[in-house]
Amino acid sequence: KQEVTQIPAALSVPEGENLVLNCSFTDSAIYNLQWFRQDPGKGLTSLLLIQSSQREQTSGRLNASLDKSSGRSTLYIAASQPGDSATYLCAVRPGSDDKIIFGKGTRLHILP
Protein backbone atom coordinates (compact mmCIF):
# COMPACT_ATOMS: atom_id res chain seq x y z
CA LYS A 1 0.00 0.00 0.00
CA GLN A 2 1.43 3.33 -1.06
CA GLU A 3 2.11 5.80 1.72
CA VAL A 4 3.29 9.38 1.37
CA THR A 5 5.18 11.13 4.14
CA GLN A 6 6.14 14.79 4.32
CA ILE A 7 8.82 16.18 6.59
CA PRO A 8 8.82 18.57 8.32
CA ALA A 9 5.17 19.00 9.30
CA ALA A 10 5.78 22.69 9.86
CA LEU A 11 8.57 25.10 9.00
CA SER A 12 9.26 28.77 9.71
CA VAL A 13 12.05 30.58 7.89
CA PRO A 14 13.03 34.23 7.46
CA GLU A 15 12.14 35.94 4.24
CA GLY A 16 14.73 35.61 1.49
CA GLU A 17 16.04 32.20 2.46
CA ASN A 18 16.07 29.22 0.16
CA LEU A 19 14.32 26.17 1.54
CA VAL A 20 13.59 22.53 0.78
CA LEU A 21 10.48 20.55 1.53
CA ASN A 22 10.70 16.78 1.56
CA CYS A 23 8.34 14.06 0.41
CA SER A 24 8.88 10.31 0.55
CA PHE A 25 6.76 7.46 -0.77
CA THR A 26 6.92 3.75 -0.09
CA ASP A 27 6.23 2.27 -3.55
CA SER A 28 8.47 3.43 -6.37
CA ALA A 29 6.00 2.34 -9.07
CA ILE A 30 4.24 5.62 -9.76
CA TYR A 31 2.77 7.41 -12.77
CA ASN A 32 3.56 10.88 -11.53
CA LEU A 33 4.06 13.06 -8.50
CA GLN A 34 2.46 16.42 -7.97
CA TRP A 35 3.14 19.27 -5.58
CA PHE A 36 0.24 21.46 -4.48
CA ARG A 37 -0.18 24.59 -2.46
CA GLN A 38 -3.16 25.13 -0.17
CA ASP A 39 -3.97 28.44 1.48
CA PRO A 40 -6.13 28.38 4.64
CA GLY A 41 -9.76 27.62 3.85
CA LYS A 42 -9.04 27.27 0.16
CA GLY A 43 -8.71 24.52 -2.39
CA LEU A 44 -5.50 23.23 -3.89
CA THR A 45 -3.36 24.93 -6.49
CA SER A 46 -1.16 22.67 -8.59
CA LEU A 47 2.45 23.85 -8.56
CA LEU A 48 4.44 21.21 -10.39
CA LEU A 49 3.77 17.80 -11.91
CA ILE A 50 6.65 15.40 -12.47
CA GLN A 51 6.06 12.44 -14.73
CA SER A 52 7.55 9.10 -13.69
CA SER A 53 10.16 9.37 -16.47
CA GLN A 54 11.32 12.83 -15.40
CA ARG A 55 13.78 13.87 -12.73
CA GLU A 56 12.74 17.46 -12.15
CA GLN A 57 10.43 20.29 -13.09
CA THR A 58 10.88 24.01 -12.64
CA SER A 59 8.47 26.90 -12.48
CA GLY A 60 9.79 30.31 -11.51
CA ARG A 61 11.32 30.10 -8.05
CA LEU A 62 10.14 26.52 -7.58
CA ASN A 63 12.02 23.39 -8.49
CA ALA A 64 10.77 19.89 -7.80
CA SER A 65 12.92 16.79 -8.10
CA LEU A 66 11.98 13.14 -8.26
CA ASP A 67 14.09 10.10 -7.37
CA LYS A 68 11.84 7.13 -7.90
CA SER A 69 14.38 4.52 -6.89
CA SER A 70 14.75 6.02 -3.43
CA GLY A 71 11.11 7.05 -3.18
CA ARG A 72 11.84 10.71 -2.65
CA SER A 73 10.88 14.10 -4.00
CA THR A 74 11.93 17.55 -2.92
CA LEU A 75 10.39 20.95 -3.51
CA TYR A 76 12.95 23.72 -3.55
CA ILE A 77 11.78 27.30 -3.05
CA ALA A 78 14.30 30.00 -3.84
CA ALA A 79 14.35 33.45 -2.28
CA SER A 80 11.28 32.83 -0.12
CA GLN A 81 8.65 35.55 0.28
CA PRO A 82 5.88 36.06 2.85
CA GLY A 83 3.38 35.24 0.12
CA ASP A 84 4.83 31.73 -0.04
CA SER A 85 3.32 31.01 3.37
CA ALA A 86 0.87 28.14 2.89
CA THR A 87 0.58 24.39 3.29
CA TYR A 88 2.42 22.42 0.65
CA LEU A 89 1.10 19.00 -0.24
CA CYS A 90 2.88 16.22 -2.08
CA ALA A 91 0.71 13.71 -3.92
CA VAL A 92 1.61 10.51 -5.70
CA ARG A 93 -0.42 8.87 -8.45
CA PRO A 94 0.06 5.10 -8.18
CA GLY A 95 0.66 3.01 -11.26
CA SER A 96 -2.61 1.13 -11.09
CA ASP A 97 -5.40 3.75 -11.28
CA ASP A 98 -6.29 7.41 -11.15
CA LYS A 99 -6.48 7.85 -7.42
CA ILE A 100 -3.75 10.03 -6.00
CA ILE A 101 -2.43 9.70 -2.48
CA PHE A 102 -1.62 12.78 -0.47
CA GLY A 103 0.91 13.40 2.22
CA LYS A 104 -0.21 15.34 5.28
CA GLY A 105 1.55 18.46 4.09
CA THR A 106 4.13 20.90 5.36
CA ARG A 107 2.84 24.16 6.82
CA LEU A 108 5.28 26.82 5.74
CA HIS A 109 5.52 30.23 7.38
CA ILE A 110 7.82 32.84 5.90
CA LEU A 111 8.74 35.48 8.45
CA PRO A 112 8.80 39.05 7.10
Partner 1 sequence: GAVVSQHPSWVICKSGTSVKIECRSLDFQATTMFWYRQFPKQSLMLMATSNEGSKATYEQGVEKDKFLINHASLTLSTLTVTSAHPEDSSFYICSASGDRTNQPQHFGDGTRLSIL
107 three-state secondary structure: strand
Which of 6, 13, 9 shows the shortest CA–CA distance to 81? 13
Dist CA 43 CA 25 (whole Å): 23
Residue of 1, 60, 83, 99 interacting with partner 1 (CB under 8 A): 99
Residues with Cβ < 8 Å from 43, sequence gap 6 or more? none
Residue 28 binds partner 1 (CB under 8 A): no
Which amino acid, 51? Q
Residue of 21, 75, 77, 89 interacting with partner 1 (CB under 8 A): 89
Site for partner 1 in 29-68 (CB under 8 A): 31-32, 34, 36, 41-46, 49, 51
Size of the site for partner 1 (CB under 8 A): 20
Contact positions vs partner 1 (CB under 8 A): 31-32, 34, 36, 41-46, 49, 51, 89, 98-100, 102-105
